[in-house]
């Protein structure tokens, strides 16, 4: 009996020792072989100098050589860039972010070129404050770039998006006192500008202009932004664009200026300015739909030299004039339908050398006349007559004594401008 117990104890001890040896060898093997990680590598910027260990420049070089995604965390409040930084080129994606929102990068010492050159895909910038750039703060020439919670101030161009870029998202940022806050060379596929604040830029908040006509790609989606105290909020020329649910206040020249084709301006609040709300110039197929426009000293909407433009369901009040149609294409007339113009300080609708279709519009309490129609006689040229087509409009009598025109309702003035 005792012998049996001793044998059992020996076997048990041997088994425990064998398990311990096996676990020890397994642990050593696991420790010797590195385990893969799906987390991004983190590189900290702790040095405000232009170059050297811990600087932003060094972090960009490390990120470019990394074999996985990288997050660069700016842990200092202020730093300066004295010479061109390396581009962001990693194929694994790089995020540059401030540890606390508002880390300030001063680029006044740069002789030219962008602060950040986005040359690789899947890059993002978050929470920085970039100032005093002689050129662009951010140049985007790759796909899938995102910028959010960032402030760009006193730069030539805030974000400059090249024609080959796509899937660009600019959201929740602040732009002020730049020459151009955001510039697109083309619409780009799946690109959007939303929930940003634009103020006091010298030329425009958003500039999306191509030199040649004809649309390319999906429309640039511009929505839910706020533009204030800009010369022009948005300038779009030959770039497909959807401008929707934005707020514009105190525009000096125009809230939106459209040239070319494929533009839709819908559901915006446009208030107060020295000149005009929406200008549609030499455009084809533009749609101005469901906007509220008030407080402009000149026209709420100006359609000039354009064709097939649709003004529908807009509400205009307390402007100098309501809507103007000037020298449009009579073979492809523009149309105004179901717009409401309340208390213009002068005329409700002006037609100069154009023949638009006017259906079911309302002009209420104009201080001038509801509809003012003039032909145009250029010096030494052929007279351009104005023959608007009128269908079921409501034109209230204003303060002027209009000249009657056969078949046209009360409050209409018609003449030829020499």
Full DSSP string of 288-327 = EES-EEEEESSEEEEEES-BS-EEES-EEES-SEEEEEES
- Looking at the domain assignment, is residue 31 inside a domain? no
Give the separation between CA 16 and CA 11, rounded to whole angstroms: 9
Q: Provide the number of structural domains found in the chain.
A: 1
The whole-angstrom separation of Cα 378 and Cα 416 is 11
> What local confidence, expressed as pLDDT, does residue 226 receive?
98
What pLDDT, in 10s, does the model give residues 108-157? 999 989 999 999 999 999 999 999 999 999 999 999 999 999 999 999 99
Cβ(259)–Cβ(281) under 8 Å?
Answer: yes
Q: Nearest-5° angle of CA 204, CA 207, CA 209? A: 140
Domain that residue 402 falls in: 133-417
Measure the CA–CA gap between 418 and 403, rounded to whole angstroms.
17
Q: Confirm if 347 and 373 have CB atoms less than 8 A apart.
A: no
Is 405 part of a structural domain of the chain? yes
3-state secondary structure (DSSP) of residue 17: helix
Question: Max alpha carbon distance in the chain (Å)?
Answer: 133
SS3 31: helix
- Residue 346's pLDDT is 96
Cα 28 versus chain centre, distance: 56
pLDDT at 188: 87
* 233 located within any domain: yes
* DSSP for residue 333: -
Element (H, E) at 19: helix 2-32
Rounded Cα gap, residues 301 and 163, in angstroms: 30
Q: Are 86 and 59 in contact (CB under 8 A)?
A: no
169: left (phi over 0), alpha (psi -120 to 50) or beta: beta
Q: For residue 187, what are its two tokens?
A: 């619409």
Residue with tokens 């072989």: 33
CA 411 – CA 404 distance, rounded (Å):
8
Q: What pLDDT is recorded for position 30?
A: 36
95 located within any domain: no
Helices (H) and strands (E) in the chain, counts: 2, 42
Asked whether residue 254 is assigned to any structural domain, the reply reads yes
Intra-chain end-to-end CA distance of the chain, in Å:
131
| Neighbouring residues of 289: CB distance < 8 A, sequence distance ≥ 6 | 264, 265, 266, 267, 310, 311, 312, 313, 314
Q: Which two tokens stand for residue 283?
A: 């455009």
pLDDT digits 0-9 by tens, 230-259 = 999 999 999 999 999 999 999 999 999 999
Task: Kindly list the distances between the CA atom of residue 10 and the CA atoms of 18, 23, 205, in Å, as whole numbers in the listed order.
Answer: 12, 20, 85
In a domain, 112, yes or no: no
Signed CA dihedral, 33, 54, 56, 152: sign only: positive
91 domain-assigned: no
CATH number for the domain harbouring residue 183: 2.160.20.10
Query: Nearest 5 degrees, angle CA 61-CA 55-CA 141?
Result: 45
pLDDT given for residue 40 in this prediction: 78
pLDDT tens digits in sequence order for the chain, 418 residues long: 444 544 444 445 444 444 444 444 443 333 323 333 346 799 999 999 999 999 999 999 999 999 999 999 999 999 999 999 999 998 899 999 999 878 999 999 999 899 999 999 999 999 999 999 999 999 999 999 999 999 999 999 999 999 999 999 999 999 999 999 999 999 889 999 999 999 999 999 999 998 876 555 689 999 999 999 999 999 999 999 999 999 999 999 999 999 998 899 999 999 998 899 999 999 999 999 999 999 999 999 999 999 999 999 999 999 999 999 999 998 999 999 999 999 999 999 999 999 999 999 999 999 999 999 999 878 877 888 899 999 999 998 764 334 333 334 344 544 443 3
pTM: 0.86
Distance CA(376)–CA(353), nearest Å, equals: 5
**What is the total residue count of the chain?**
418
- Give the residue among 302, 308, 258 at the shortest CA–CA distance from 276: 302
Number of neighbouring beta carbons within 10 Å of residue 190? 15
Residue 65 lies in a domain: no
* 8 A C-beta contact, residue 242 and residue 220: yes
Under 8 Å between Cβ of 280 and 303: yes
What pLDDT shows up at residue 76? 95
For 259-288, how does the pLDDT look when each residue is reduced to its tens digit (9 = 90+)?
A: 998 899 999 999 998 899 999 999 999 999
């Amino acid at each position: 009996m005792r012998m049996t117990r001793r044998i059992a104890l020996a076997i048990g001890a041997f088994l425990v020792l064998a398990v311990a040896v096996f676990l020890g060898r397994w642990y050593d093997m696991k420790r010797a072989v590195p385990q893969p990680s799906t987390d991004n590598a983190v590189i900290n910027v702790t040095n405000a100098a232009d170059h050297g260990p811990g600087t932003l420049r060094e972090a960009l070089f490390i990120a470019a050589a990394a074999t996985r995604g990288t997050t660069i965390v700016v842990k200092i409040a202020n730093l300066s860039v004295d010479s061109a930084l390396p581009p962001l080129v990693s194929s694994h994606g790089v995020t540059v972010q401030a540890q606390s929102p508002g880390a300030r990068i001063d680029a006044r010492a740069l002789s030219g070129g962008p602060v950040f050159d986005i040359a690789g895909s899947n890059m993002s910038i978050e929470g920085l404050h970039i100032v005093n750039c002689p050129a662009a703060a951010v140049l985007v020439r790759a796909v899938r770039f995102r910028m959010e919670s960032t402030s760009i101030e006193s730069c030539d161009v805030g974000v400059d998006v090249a024609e080959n870029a796509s899937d660009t998202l600019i959201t929740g940022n602040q732009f002020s006192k730049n020459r151009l806050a955001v510039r697109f060379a083309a619409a780009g596929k799946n690109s959007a500008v939303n929930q940003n604040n634009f103020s006091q830029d010298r030329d425009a908040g958003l500039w999306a202009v191509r030199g040649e006509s004809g649309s390319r790609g999906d429309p640039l989606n511009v929505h839910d932004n706020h533009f204030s105290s800009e010369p022009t909020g948005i300038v779009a020329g030959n770039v497909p664009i959807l401008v929707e649910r934005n707020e514009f206040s105190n525009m000096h020249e125009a809230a939106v200026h459209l040239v070319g084709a494929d533009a839709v301006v819908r559901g915006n609040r446009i208030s107060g300015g020295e000149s005009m709300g929406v200008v549609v110039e030499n455009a084809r197929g533009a749609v101005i739909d469901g906007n509220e426009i008030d407080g402009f000293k000149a026209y709420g909407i100006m359609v000039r030299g354009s064709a097939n433009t649709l003004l529908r369901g807009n509400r205009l009040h307390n402007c100098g004039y309501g809507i103007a149609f000037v020298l449009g294409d009579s073979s492809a007339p523009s149309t105004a339908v179901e717009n409401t113009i309340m208390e213009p300080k002068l005329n409700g609708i002006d037609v100069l050398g154009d023949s638009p279709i006017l259906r079911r519009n309302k002009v209420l309490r104009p201080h001038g006349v509801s509809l003012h129609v003039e032909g145009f006689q250029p010096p030494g040229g052929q007279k351009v007559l104005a023959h608007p087509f009128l269908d079921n409009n409501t034109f209230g009598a204003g303060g002027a004594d209009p000249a009657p025109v056969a078949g046209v309702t009360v409050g209409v003035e018609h003449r030829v401008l020499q």
